[in-house]
Amino acid sequence: MPAVVEVARLTKNFGRLRALNEVSFGVEKGEVLGFLGPNGAGKTTTIRILLGLLHPDGGTAKINGHDCWTDHARAADFFGATLEQPGFYGFLSGRDNLRQFARMLGPVDEKQITALLDTVGMTERADDKVKRYSMGMRQRLALAQALLGKPSLLVLDEPTNGLDPNGIHGLRILLRKLATEQGLTIFFSSHLLSEVEELCDRVVVLHRGEVKASGPLSDIMNVKGFRYRIDVSDVDKALAVVRTVDGAHADPGTLKDSITVASDTDIARQVNYALVSAGIGVDQLVREEKGLEDVYIQLTGVAAGSPLSSPPPPPAPAA
């Protein structure tokens, strides 16, 4: 499969801040790639480079072989994009906004505009001024805008931002449909795991401007190790006891009267035996599947320290 998007050793600095540090990945034709990372990871910067809004300080970004900065016009022929917080002309109606952007691509196809407004569920409000739209409605209009001119690649920056649960659900179904029925390649960023989990063939996890993991979702999810949640009668005692078991890492659990135990090997029986021997009541011992959330936290280290720990200081750019 030929790569639609090729990003190679992409580096971008903003003053002293290194926003991207040798980021490399590719998006293959027809796949749905999730671009995952916490706030400030460099997702939007990468997307802005792909859209030709920023030029990289190092490395290259290409779409269908055309450089996104030096050959923007040709690269832009292939994609439709939405950016975080999509902007529209508030004094024009949704339909007129689409006409504006359609005109940049060639003769305006009124039928396509009507069809797109219908696709994103905006037919009823299409002739209202955009300044009266909610964030979710703008997001829908942005998607219609991205689909103008039948692109072969969709680049979406946090497309579910501001959408209500119905909207998110609808978007998921729509994106799936576009990918399977029309063979659209979709590259979308998110910090929401649920979206990515349900939608993507492959994910790239970005953190502090570096790719932490990439590959099929099943590979990333298949992180070695076992994890148990144990409901006990005495948490402090239980922690002390479990820590004596070989290879066990015990922490207070997130639930009341529970502990979490992690290990590289299956030690459920040893742990249970140790607890019972020590006279600690075990109400429940559950093996927990590692969700994407855990992998994400493990990769990005966001959960370290306090739940909402402040982002670490940016690394200084290499000389």
Partner 1 sequence: MSVLVSLIRNEFEKTWRSRWIVFAVLFGLFLLIACGVYIYYVASQHRWTPPAPVAWQAQLQDQIKANQREITNLEQIKEQAPGGTVRIGGRGGPDLNIDQAIAQSKQAITDDQYLIDNNIAPVQSFPVAQAALFALGGIVMFLLTRIFGWLASEQIAGERSDRTLTTLLSRPPSRNQVLLAKGFASFLISLVVVLVTLLIVYAGFSFFLGSPGSLADQAGVALDGSKALGPGNLLQVPVWLFVLMCVGAAMLGVLCVQGMSLLISVVTGRWAAIGITLALLFGAPLVSTVVAGILFLISGSQDSAHFLNYFFFNVLLPVGSVAPSFGNATAAPGSGVNEFTAELETLAVWTFAFFLAAWLLFRRKQEAG
Instruction: Name the site residues for partner 1 (rule: CB under 8 A).
Output: 14, 44-45, 48, 51-55, 72-74, 76-77, 81, 83-92, 96, 100-101, 103-106, 145
Counting DSSP H helices and E strands in the chain, the numbers are 11, 14
The structure tokens listed for 75 are 């690269």
Q: Is the dihedral of CA 278, 281, 287, 292 positive or negative?
A: negative
Which of 86/253 has CB closer to partner 1? 86
Minimum distance from residue 114 beta carbon to partner 1 (Å): 19
Q: 236: which 2 tokens?
A: 């402090």
Q: Are 259 and 239 in contact (CB under 8 A)?
A: yes
Q: DSSP readout, 115-168?
A: HHHHHTT-TTTTTSBGGG--HHHHHHHHHHHHTTT--SEEEEESTTTT--HHHH
| Minimal distance, residue 83 CB to partner 1, in Å | 5
**Half-sphere exposure at residue 30, Cβ-oriented, CA atoms within 13 angstroms:** 6
Smallest distance from the beta carbon of 86 to partner 1, in angstroms? 7
Q: How far is the CB of 29 from partner 1 (least distance, A)?
A: 20
Residue 278, classed as helix, strand or coil, is: coil
Of 42 and 253, which CB lies nearer to partner 1 in the complex structure?
42
Residue 92 CB, nearest distance to partner 1 (Å)?
Answer: 6
Nearer Cβ to partner 1, position 54 or 61?
54
Beta carbons within 10 angstroms of residue 213's beta carbon? 18
Beta carbon nearer to partner 1, 75 or 220: 75
The amino acid at 266: D
**Based on CB atoms, which residue is closest to partner 1, 74 or 176?**
74
